[in-house]
Amino acid sequence: MKKLRPRRSDKEEQNQQEQKETKEISGFRDYPLTVDKILTWASYAFPNNEIVYWPPGGSRASVTFSQFADRVRRVAAALMDLGLRSGKPWEFGSKIAVMEWDTLRYVDLFYAIPSIGSTLFTVNIRLAPHEVMYTMSIAKPDALVINIDDFEPFIKPILDNIKTIKLVIYMSDRSKGPSQDYGIKTVPYEELLKHEPLKEFPEIDERTPATMLFTSGTTGPPKGVYFTHRQLALHASSVTIALSYPPYNIGVKDVSMPLIPLFHVHGWGTPYVVMLSGTRKYVLPGRYDWGHILRLIHDEGVTYTGGVPTILYVLLTHPDSSKYDLRGLRFGNGGSAMPEGLYNAAKARGIIVASGYGMTETAPVLTMAYLRPEYLNWSEDEKKQLVLRTGLPIPLVQLRVVDEQDNDVPMDGKTIGELVVWSPWIAKEYLDDPEKTRNAWRNGWFHTGDVAVWFPDGYIFIVDRLKDVIKSGGEWISSVKLESIISTHPAVGEVAVIGVPHEKWGERPVAIVVPKPGERITEDEIRNYLMQFVGRGEIPKWWLPDKIIIVEAELPKTSTGKIDKKLLRDRFKDEFT
């Protein structure tokens, strides 16, 4: 039977057809830089590379990049089904708070949550409970994903205080469920992994917020920042390139187990970097247990790790340490300057150490102490002086060291100024804090609050946090430099130098020294030791600490494992009164 159609409809159809054709004249599809692109590519390019999850006391699990991509697609699809939604350029959609150790599940979430346009809020589980609550009150998450084995006691107080949360997803290594009814929708993480995998990741603008996190708040309450897909992708790409430079030389053959918690500034970008680097194996140790970690380094053949100096110290001094051969292991240092004494101790074990630098607000990496080709033939001692510096900017980063008027200070390795930076991955703003934002972003440069010198060769060295630098008689004394020197004394275990209020000078330096286990040390020994460096012109005489206090207990640490100088300053504030 022949269909009859009115002419008018024919005309309409023709119009529609023409419109469609016009629209399709260029079928060009723009390519947004979103983190799912890294995964889609890496699971094709390196499908057999491995991610190993082996928590202390638990069993070893391993997935290939290809299997991992499947997990992410399942979790992403499930999260969409649970009603979690995409944001827009510079605007949040759903925000998902995660409280977890370094697990495979966490790495899933580094891809799955942003891939659907939602924001991964990496809760700093090392903060004090009231601080965790404070960050949550600013972040206002829509959902909570939580390790129920270790953090269940947090659930009730969080739900009582943070009313935006409508969903709890719980994770367990022991198939554990919640021990009570929280009066809210709860879903086991394993359920998400059973969902049909997403075929195509949804199209997300590259400026959609992908992650949210908080500074560790050593100068006041933690401050929130967020990062877009574009920022994370470009950060990962530059870190990958810089890690290929000597002395890191990280490539496809490496086995990577950075000891930067994933809740601490994206674990320095590791979940994304291992994919771009083609890293043969990425090892996740769960909750940090040093005996277990040392065993993993050996059993999994780890070739690259990293963290704050304290972690290197622990790896070297742990009772089990001497059982293992650590030769050839590379350690990327960050968070604090690497004390020369610790460098030497690591070197004696055959570990290759190189520094890096960054901050929460910068995603984090800004500099790495890589070696220029012309330095490769230098002596070990000359190279040491370079890799102990804070480094050179990684690709695309611009930096300057400036005075209070934002003018460059001389590149003489001596004149101290504030480090200001510009790169594609610096936080746009502090959450709910326009004043702090305005104060950091001045004249088009982000002001780090770190005090540095730059050398004639362009390498920089962070001499202090602006808040830790000691102001004596209108001049600055670098606590970091003094600490590094004292750390080279063979009997010194830990050291902190702080500024203590002083009637005449404003502030004067005080050193707090912890001897190595079984060692004894006196104030005079340290003073005489420092005098040798004064004699060689390495530090001026007036930098010498007025007091050197020997203590037996370990120094207090912040949630990120750095020495808590705020607390020390408070404890010793009356030394000169």
> Which residue from 53, 445, 461, 572 is in contact with a second copy, where contact means CB under 8 A?
445
Three-state SS at 486: helix
246 contacts a second copy (rule: CB under 8 A): yes
428 contacts a second copy (rule: CB under 8 A): yes
301 contacts a second copy (rule: CB under 8 A): no
26 contacts a second copy (rule: CB under 8 A): yes
| Strand duo 492-502 + 460-465: pairing | unpaired
Hey, what long-range contacts does 309-313 have (CB within 8 A, 24 or more apart)? 309/333, 309/335, 309/336, 309/337, 309/338, 309/339, 309/342, 310/336, 310/557, 310/561, 310/562, 310/563, 311/259, 311/561, 312/338, 312/342, 312/346, 312/351, 312/353, 313/342, 313/494
* Shortest reach from residue 299's CB to a second copy, in Å: 18
552 contacts a second copy (rule: CB under 8 A): no
> Which residue from 458, 473, 490, 540 is in contact with a second copy, where contact means CB under 8 A?
458
> Which residue from 162, 396, 409, 539 is in contact with a second copy, where contact means CB under 8 A?
396
For the segment 210-239, give every residue that binds a second copy (CB under 8 A): 234, 237-238
For residues 131 and 158, the answer to whether their CB atoms sit within 8 Å is no
Give the residue with the Cβ less far from a second copy, 172 or 237: 237
CA atoms within 13 A on the CB side of 103: 20
Task: Give the range of 26-34, 294-302, 498-506, 535-543 binding a second copy by CB under 8 A.
Answer: 26-34
413 contacts a second copy (rule: CB under 8 A): no
Task: Give the range of 52-60, 264-272, 292-300, 433-441 binding a second copy by CB under 8 A.
Answer: 433-441
Task: Give the range of 91-99, 121-129, 142-150, 396-404 binding a second copy by CB under 8 A.
Answer: 396-404
Phi, psi dihedral angles at 281 (to 5 degrees):
-150, 135
* Shortest reach from residue 224's CB to a second copy, in Å: 14
Task: Give the range of 100-108, 110-118, 372-380, 488-496 binding a second copy by CB under 8 A.
Answer: 372-380
For residues 87 and 61, the answer to whether their CB atoms sit within 8 Å is no
Q: Is 476 a catalytic residue?
A: yes
* Pick from 364, 375, 337, 366: nearest CA to 497: 337
Give the residue with the Cβ less far from a second copy, 44 or 542: 44
* Pick from 298, 387, 390: nearest CA to 343: 387
> Which residue from 434, 474, 517, 518 is in contact with a second copy, where contact means CB under 8 A?
434
Three-state SS at 397: coil
* Shortest reach from residue 457's CB to a second copy, in Å: 8
389 contacts a second copy (rule: CB under 8 A): no
For residues 344 and 488, the answer to whether their CB atoms sit within 8 Å is yes
424 contacts a second copy (rule: CB under 8 A): yes
Q: How far apart are CA 236 and CA 214, in angstroms?
A: 20
Q: How many residues bind a second copy (CB under 8 A)?
A: 62
For the segment 88-127, give every residue that binds a second copy (CB under 8 A): none
404 contacts a second copy (rule: CB under 8 A): no
256 contacts a second copy (rule: CB under 8 A): no
Q: Is 471 a catalytic residue?
A: yes
Which pair of structure tokens corresponds to residue 62?
């391993």
> Which residue from 27, 518, 535, 537 is in contact with a second copy, where contact means CB under 8 A?
27
| Active-site position among 382, 471, 475, 519 | 471
DSSP state of 341: H
Beta strands in 374-491, from DSSP E residues, in sequence order: 392-393, 398-402, 417-422, 441-442, 445-454, 460-465, 470-472, 475-477
> Which residue from 56, 178, 197, 251 is in contact with a second copy, where contact means CB under 8 A?
251
DSSP state of 557: B
Spell out the residues 6+ positions from residue 28 whose beta carbon is closer than 8 angstroms to its own. Answer: none
For the segment 260-289, give every residue that binds a second copy (CB under 8 A): 276-278, 280
Q: How far apart are CA 404 and CA 415, in angstroms?
A: 13
Task: Give the range of 32-40, 334-342, 525-533, 552-560 binding a second copy by CB under 8 A.
Answer: 32-40
* Shortest reach from residue 432's CB to a second copy, in Å: 12
Break the chain down into helix, strand, coil percent, rounded to 5: 35, 25, 40
31 contacts a second copy (rule: CB under 8 A): yes
Q: How far apart are CA 189 and CA 61, in angstroms?
A: 16
Question: What CA–CA distances, in Å, run from 326 to 302, 303, 304, 322, 339?
Answer: 9, 9, 11, 9, 19
Site mask for a second copy (CB under 8 A), range 493-532, x = bound: ----------------------------------------
37 contacts a second copy (rule: CB under 8 A): yes
For the segment 314-343, give every residue that binds a second copy (CB under 8 A): none
For the segment 6-25, give every residue that binds a second copy (CB under 8 A): 24-25
> Which residue from 5, 28, 405, 504 is in contact with a second copy, where contact means CB under 8 A?
28
For residues 134 and 221, the answer to whether their CB atoms sit within 8 Å is yes
Give the residue with the Cβ less far from a second copy, 428 or 573: 428
Three-state SS at 8: helix
Q: What is the DSSP string of 64-109?
A: EHHHHHHHHHHHHHHHHHTT----BTTB---EEEEE--B-HHHHHH
* Shortest reach from residue 325's CB to a second copy, in Å: 22
Other Cβ atoms closer than 10 A to 537? 7
| Catalytic residue IDs | 215, 361, 471, 476
Residues that bind a second copy (CB under 8 A): 24-29, 31, 33, 37-38, 40-41, 44-49, 234, 237-238, 240-241, 244-246, 249, 251-253, 276-278, 280, 371-374, 376, 392-393, 395-398, 422-424, 426, 428-429, 434, 437-438, 440-445, 457-458
